[in-house]
């Protein structure tokens, strides 16, 4: 098997992790689960010179300084504007040979079992070399309503053909998916050949494909950094790779694994990941709890005391304080502060 080209997407703003995650320093570049940031941990997972080629990073101009500070010199594509994952992935595909195997990874996820991650990547790459567009799925452990799902169809190699992509379900449907056993969480991690991805993008989203192709064709390169043409890229209509390609192609496959995965999408997910981690003494837990259960305190300065409350998360970051009930983390993004107001 040829070496796989990791493509690390640095486009998330992490509004649901406010106040720790803010526009000036968003989630991927924070040390939320150790001494390394989520972005650095994403790079660490693909540090295997036998399995992986050098990573290619796709990010907006606002993230370029963080990438420079936190990573060794890697090839970087600077997006002129945020246009969602379909365009970002297409930019990377145009910078690689058509036969190159791409492993597309978000920069802000957590994977607890790196060896299991690499094992499932090998399985997915074997299917991608046959012309399939492969999603990595996560074996569900609970009826989660915050993730999309993939319904597995006919077994194919060490994976399955995709029968259906399913948007985030309500609690009843999520429980039914878990009981069924044929559904996996959609992790937003993909493996395909660059040429296959571009071929399907041209088929299903020709205007998007054309605009991205032109932006690369007349873009400019400065050492290890590539700048697509801003005017051409500005004509792209932003859309996720799931909506643009994966939900339409007849060449979709899925391989799944249990690898300690979390999207660290909000404070509930982050606290769950910390509780599953056996080296938790590094992060800020400055506070006391009296007559309370299931209380988490994360403070970068003041000591916080909680008395007589259950199921509460308290976060202090500089001049901002967040107090919320566990289970309500999805709503943090609606706060004015999380939107820069």
> How high is the pLDDT of residue 280?
46
Residue 77: helix, strand or coil by DSSP?
strand
Residue boundaries of the structural domains of the chain? 4-267, 284-339
> How high is the pLDDT of residue 253?
97
CATH fold of the domain at 4-267: Spore Coat Polysaccharide Biosynthesis Protein SpsA; Chain A (3.90.550)
Of the candidates 67, 56, 195, 71, the one whose C-alpha atom is nearest the C-alpha of residue 131 is 195
> How high is the pLDDT of residue 340?
65
Q: 190: left (phi > 0), else alpha (psi -120 to 50), else beta?
A: beta
Q: Tell me the mean pLDDT in the region 39-50.
A: 93
| pTM of the predicted model as reported, rounded to 2 decimal places | 0.91
pLDDT in tens, 142-168: 998 888 999 999 999 999 999 999 999
Reply yes or no on whether the pLDDT at 341 is more than 80: no
Q: How far apart (Å, rounded) are the C-alpha atoms in residues 67 and 36?
A: 13
């Amino acid at each position: 098997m040829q070496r796989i080209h990791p493509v690390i997407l640095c486009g998330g703003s992490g509004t649901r992790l406010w106040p720790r995650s803010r526009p000036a320093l968003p989630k991927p570049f924070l040390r939320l689960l150790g001494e390394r940031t989520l972005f650095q941990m994403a790079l660490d997972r693909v540090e295997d010179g036998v399995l992986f080629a050098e990573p290619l990073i796709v990010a907006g101009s606002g993230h370029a300084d963080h990438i420079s500070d936190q990573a060794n010199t890697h090839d970087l594509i600077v997006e002129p504007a945020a246009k969602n994952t379909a365009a970002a992935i297409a930019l990377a595909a145009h910078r690689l040979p058509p036969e190159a195997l791409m492993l597309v990874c978000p920069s802000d996820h957590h994977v607890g079992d790196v060896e299991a991650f690499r094992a499932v990547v090998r399985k997915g790459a074997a299917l991608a070399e046959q012309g399939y567009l492969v999603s990595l799925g996560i074996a569900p452990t609970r009826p989660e309503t915050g993730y999309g799902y993939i319904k597995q169809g006919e077994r194919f190699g060490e994976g399955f053909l995709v029968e259906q992509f399913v948007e985030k379900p309500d609690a009843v449907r999520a429980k039914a998916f878990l009981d069924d056993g044929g559904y996996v969480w959609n992790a937003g991690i993909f493996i395909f050949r660059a040429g296959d991805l571009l071929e399907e993008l041209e088929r299903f989203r020709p205007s998007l494909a054309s605009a991205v192709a032109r932006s690369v064709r007349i873009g400019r390169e400065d050492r290890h950094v590539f700048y697509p043409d801003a005017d051409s890229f500005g004509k792209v209509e932003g859309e996720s790779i799931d909506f643009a390609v994966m939900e339409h192609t007849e060449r979709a496959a899925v391989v799944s694994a249990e690898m300690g995965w979390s999207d660290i999408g909000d404070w509930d997910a982050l606290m769950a990941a910390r509780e599953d981690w056996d080296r938790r003494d590094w992060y800020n837990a400055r506070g006391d709890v009296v007559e309370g259960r299931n209380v988490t305190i994360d403070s970068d300065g003041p000591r916080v005391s909680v008395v007589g409350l259950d199921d509460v998360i308290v976060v202090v970051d500089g001049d901002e304080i967040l107090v919320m009930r566990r289970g309500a983390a999805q709503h943090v993004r609606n706060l004015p502060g999380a939107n820069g107001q």
